[in-house]
């Protein structure tokens, strides 16, 4: 047997340093972009491309799995910003509007964010085997990042060419869409093509989201994502016309308003219930896998790889991290004014349990469809916490920060672990770096939000409605909090949905509850675009074979995802600097 001449680089100082620097830059950029435009963008693809250029191009010695470590760190730090931007600015806006009194002590929010960053990793590590090795969830963005990293090291550049073609098509298409040149009022607006043409009622939302990234996620999922598509069909082409036919919709509404009513009052809350019930039952059904995973975490000998060292994060680190995070959870809540010791203890128990379930739901949804139902999880979090904390909004948002950071971490970690699996990386090394560095993202994002707030007149009001940074996501949470204050919680839909989700997850088709719940929770235009991708993949697999789809379709679809992501970032930067 040949001798090894030099070690294969994986966890190196260069990868960690580059990952942290990229993570901080992406975090700052995307916090600003989210406050300005109302959407966030994953940074894994950018980090992988930059990692390739710097580690391999500049240092001349980077490897695929070293780049995997770099993008794991960068996306981990960056993703934290999404959770912060979704929650904390709502409190600033409510304070400015005189809805609450907030003293701007950000220490509890930093502590809660760090607790969330730790717990997101702690919760997701034991689920790696279940989601990646047993359920084989697709994680489309993880596959796209793998294709980027692999295309740089293989001698055969045919996949790199397909990646580049997909990238170019998607980038040009995205530019056409955001430029508005193709817009036709009533037919093609806001990147949606309405194919009703007066024949299909508008309450059935006959529209498709013209995002090639969305179609590409379906191309990567194939048959596995089909139940998501069927969930959308049931919601919009079965429930919706039946509701109208049976006279369940208030009179005097036009067809578009009917669609809005059906979505807001019926499908979305029911979908959240189905998602939660489906994920809970899914966890129960996967208990043997989770048990095996925990056993293998505890048993180092059986999981050590040849020459790769320890394979999984030590069990004691998870336990210690979990305990520390729960203590931080308690401290952050107890520091908020008006919170009693008993309430803080209750939150420190219920909060992490709900956080674990929410992280599981978001990781599963992302794994199957690449779509994260973060807003739904934030809604439930604030609902539960306002109940436990006697409608103390600021304290409920503290927990919301922790949960949103954690669920973002969980989904991101799982995407990166999928990339690691496909490249042959060591999960332990990815897990340990994410565990120890992502807290940086909490400090950076909260600092950025505070500085931007102080950028307004008289040192406050730097974002929110009527400013250059309208913070649309925080606006959604403000709306939710106001609705909760009036006691308007659709518990009937959550409970019935939960029961339906549980029965769906008992079916022998993996993930049915989560997929159908997610389809009901999302607008139909997204589900339809994704479903078209699934059907194309199935057709190509049937006519051209599995090898064709793996070697031709996967790199092309990865290119479509990356092309739209990069163009989206470029467009966001252009919007910010141009206005």
Partner 1 sequence: MKNLSIVLYFAGLIIAIVSAAHYTDTMTTKDIMLSPSFLIGMVMSIGGLIWWRSQIKTVQSDLLLEESEDSPHILITSITKELHDLVAKMQSYEREDWLNHLMRIQDEFIIRFNDQRHQLLNTMNAEEGSELMIKFSYGERMLNRAYSCSADGHHDEGLHLAPTALKSFEECLIILKK
Q: Do residues 411 and 368 make contact, with C-beta atoms less than 8 angstroms apart? A: no
* 5 vs 543, beta carbon nearer partner 1: 5
- Assess contact for 121 and 321: CB atoms under 8 A: yes
Q: How far is the CB of 201 from partner 1 (least distance, A)?
A: 17
Strands, sheet with 207-209, edge to edge from the N-terminal-most edge strand: 188-189, 192-194, 207-209
Shortest distance, CB of residue 494 to partner 1, whole angstroms?
A: 8
Q: Does 154 bind partner 1 (CB under 8 A)?
A: yes
Q: Does 265 bind partner 1 (CB under 8 A)?
A: yes
The nearest distance, CB 293 to partner 1, in angstroms, is 8
Stretch that binds partner 1, among 45-53, 95-103, 264-272, 394-402 (CB under 8 A): 264-272
Please work out, in degrees rounded to the nearest 5, the angle formed at the alpha carbon of residue 215 by the alpha carbons of 564 and 404: 70
Task: Tell me the C-alpha distance between 553 and 140, whole Å.
Answer: 12
Going by C-alpha positions, the residue among 305, 296, 294, 312 that lies closest to residue 429 is: 312
Nearer to partner 1, 425 or 563 (CB): 425
Least separation in angstroms between CB 358 and partner 1: 22
Residue 192 or residue 312: which is nearer to partner 1 going by CB?
312
CA 456 to CA 450: how far, in whole Å? 11
Closest-CA residue to 209 (of 190, 224, 226, 227):
190
Any contact of residue 424 with partner 1 (CB under 8 A)?
A: yes
CB of 232 to partner 1, least distance (A): 13
Q: How many CA atoms lie within 13 A of 140 on its CB side?
A: 33
- How far is Cα of residue 202 from the mean position of the Cα atoms in its chain? 29
> Which single residue is written with the structure tokens 């500049």?
58
Distances (CA, A) of 193 to 179, 210, 534: 15, 7, 19
From 20, 293, 382, 405, residue interacting with partner 1 (rule: CB under 8 A): 293
- Which listed residue (100, 134, 335, 538) binds partner 1 by CB under 8 A? 134
Q: Which stretch binds partner 1 (CB under 8 A): 38-46, 82-90, 317-325, 544-552?
A: 544-552
User: Binding of partner 1 at residue 150 (CB under 8 A)?
Assistant: yes
**Segment contacting partner 1 (CB under 8 A): 112-120, 235-243, 370-378, 396-404?**
235-243
Give kind and range of the element (H or E) at residue 358: helix 341-369
- Quick one: tokens of 334? 């107890």
- Nearest distance, CB of residue 54 and partner 1, angstroms: 16
Q: Does 468 bind partner 1 (CB under 8 A)?
A: no
Binding segment (CB under 8 A) for partner 1, from list 41-49, 180-188, 239-247, 461-469: 239-247
Choice from 550, 573, 574, 575 touching partner 1 (CB under 8 A)? 550
Judged by CB under 8 A, the residue of 492, 539, 573, 574 near partner 1 is 492
Decide if 410 contacts 388 (C-beta within 8 A).
no
- Minimal distance in Å, beta carbon 275 to partner 1? 13
Token pair for residue 468? Answer: 């250059």
- Output DSSP code: residue 132: I
Stretch that binds partner 1, among 125-133, 158-166, 170-178, 322-330 (CB under 8 A): 125-133
Residues in 342-361 at the binding interface with partner 1, rule: CB under 8 A? none
Q: Which residues ranging from 39 to 78 are in contact with partner 1 (CB under 8 A)?
A: 63-65
C-alpha angle 434-439-443 in degrees, rounded to nearest 5 = 150
**CA-CA distance, 216 to 222, in Å (whole number)?**
10
Among 212, 221, 267, 397, binds partner 1 (CB under 8 A): 267
List binders of partner 1 among 1-20 (CB under 8 A).
1-8
Of the candidate spans 30-38, 133-141, 366-374, 469-477, the one that interacts with partner 1 by CB under 8 A turns out to be 133-141
Size of the residue set binding partner 1 (CB under 8 A): 65
Stretch that binds partner 1, among 34-42, 85-93, 288-296, 363-371 (CB under 8 A): 288-296
Binding segment toward partner 1, per CB under 8 A, in 22-30, 319-327, 415-423, 555-563 = 415-423
Which one among 11, 164, 187, 234 touches partner 1, defined by CB under 8 A? 234
197 three-class SS: coil
Residue 190 or 223 having the CB closest to partner 1: 223
Alpha carbon distance 463, 486 (integer Å):
26
Beta carbon of residue 384, minimum distance to partner 1 (angstroms, whole number): 16
Residue 208 has phi, psi (to 5 degrees) of -125, 135
Q: Long-range contacts for 249-256 (Cβ within 8 Å, ≥24 apart)?
A: 249/203, 254/202, 255/201, 255/202, 255/203, 256/202, 256/203
Q: Whole-number minimum distance, CB 216 to partner 1, in Å?
A: 19
**Shortest Å, Cβ 568 to partner 1:** 29
DSSP structure string for 157-226 = -HHHHHHHHHHHHHHHHHHHHHHTTT-BTTTEETTEEE--TTTS-GGG--EEE--HHHHHHHHHHGGGGH
**489 binding partner 1? (CB under 8 A):** no
Question: What one-character-per-residue DSSP string does 34-85 give?
Answer: HHHHS-----HHHHHHHHIIIIIIISS---HHHHHHHHHHHHHHHHHHHHHH
Spatial separation of the C-alpha atoms in residues 271 and 263, rounded to whole Å? 10
Cα 284 to chain centroid distance, Å, stands at 23
Which range, of 41-49, 170-178, 289-297, 432-440, touches partner 1 by CB under 8 A?
Answer: 289-297
Q: Who contacts 177 (Cβ-Cβ below 8 Å, separation ≥6)?
A: 191, 210, 211
Among 203, 329, 330, 421, contact with partner 1 (rule: CB under 8 A): 421
- Least distance to partner 1, CB of residue 311, Å: 8
Residues at the interface with partner 1 (CB under 8 A) = 1-8, 63-65, 129, 132-134, 136, 150, 153-155, 234, 238-239, 242-243, 248, 262, 265-267, 270, 288-289, 291-293, 296, 303, 305-308, 311, 421-425, 491-493, 495-497, 499-500, 503-504, 506-508, 546-547, 550-551
């Amino acid at each position: 047997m040949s001798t090894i001449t030099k070690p294969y680089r994986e966890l190196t100082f260069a990868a960690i340093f580059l990952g942290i620097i990229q993570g901080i830059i992406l975090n700052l950029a995307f916090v600003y972009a989210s406050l300005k435009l109302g959407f966030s963008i994953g940074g894994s693809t950018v980090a992988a491309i930059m990692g390739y250029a710097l580690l391999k191009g500049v240092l001349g010695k980077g490897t695929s799995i070293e780049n995997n470590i770099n993008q794991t760190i960068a996306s981990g730090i960056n993703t934290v910003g999404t959770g912060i931007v979704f929650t904390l600015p709502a409190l600033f806006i409510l304070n400015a509007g005189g809805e609450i009194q907030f003293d701007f002590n950000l220490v509890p929010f930093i502590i809660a964010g760090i607790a969330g960053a730790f717990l997101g990793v702690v919760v997701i590590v034991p689920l790696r085997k279940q989601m990646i090795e047993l359920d084989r969830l697709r994680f489309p963005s993880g596959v796209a990042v793998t294709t980027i990293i692999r295309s740089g090291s293989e001698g055969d550049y045919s996949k790199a060419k397909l990646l580049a073609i997909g990238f170019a098509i998607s980038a040009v298409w995205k530019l056409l869409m955001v430029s508005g040149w193709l817009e036709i009022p009533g037919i093609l607006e806001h990147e949606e093509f309405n194919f009703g043409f007066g024949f299909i009622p508008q309450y059935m939302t006959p529209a498709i989201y013209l995002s090639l990234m969305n179609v590409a996620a379906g191309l990567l999922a194939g048959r596995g994502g089909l139940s998501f598509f069927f969930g959308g069909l049931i919601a919009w082409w079965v429930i919706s016309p039946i509701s109208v036919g049976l006279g369940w919709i208030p009179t005097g509404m036009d067809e578009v308003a009917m669609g809005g009513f059906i979505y807001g009052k019926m499908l979305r809350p029911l979908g959240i219930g189905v998602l939660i019930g489906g994920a809970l039952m899914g966890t129960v059904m996967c208990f043997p896998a989770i048990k095996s995973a925990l056993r293998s975490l505890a048993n180092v000998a059986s999981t050590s790889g040849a020459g790769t060292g320890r394979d999984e994060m030590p069990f004691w680190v998870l336990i210690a991290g979990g305990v520390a995070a729960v203590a931080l959870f308690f401290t952050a809540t107890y520091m908020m004014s008006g919170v009693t010791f008993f309430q803080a203890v209750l939150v420190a128990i219920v909060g992490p349990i709900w956080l674990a379930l929410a992280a599981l739901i978001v990781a599963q949804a992302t794994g199957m469809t690449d779509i994260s139902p973060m807003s739904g999880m934030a809604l439930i979090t604030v609902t539960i916490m306002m109940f436990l904390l006697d409608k103390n909004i600021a304290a409920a948002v503290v927990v919301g920060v922790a949960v949103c950071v954690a669920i973002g971490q969980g989904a991101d970690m799982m995407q990166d672990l999928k990339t690691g699996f496909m490249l042959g990386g060591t999960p332990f090394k990815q897990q340990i770096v994410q565990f120890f560095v992502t807290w940086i993202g909490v400090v950076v994002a909260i600092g950025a939000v505070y500085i931007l707030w102080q950028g307004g007149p008289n040192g406050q009001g730097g974002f929110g409605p009527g400013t250059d940074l309208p913070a649309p996501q925080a606006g959604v949470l403000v709306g939710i909090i106001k609705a909760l204050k009036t006691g308007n919680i659709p518990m009937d839909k959550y409970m019935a949905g939960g029961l339906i989700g549980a029965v769906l997850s008992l079916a022998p088709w993996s993930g049915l509850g989560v997929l159908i719940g997610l389809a009901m929770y999302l607008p139909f235009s997204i589900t339809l675009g994704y479903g078209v991708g699934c059907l194309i993949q199935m057709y190509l697999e049937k006519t051209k074979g599995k090898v064709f789809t793996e070697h031709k379709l996967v790199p092309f679809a990865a290119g479509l995802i990356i092309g739209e992501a990069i163009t989206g970032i470029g467009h966001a930067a252009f919007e910010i600097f141009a206005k």
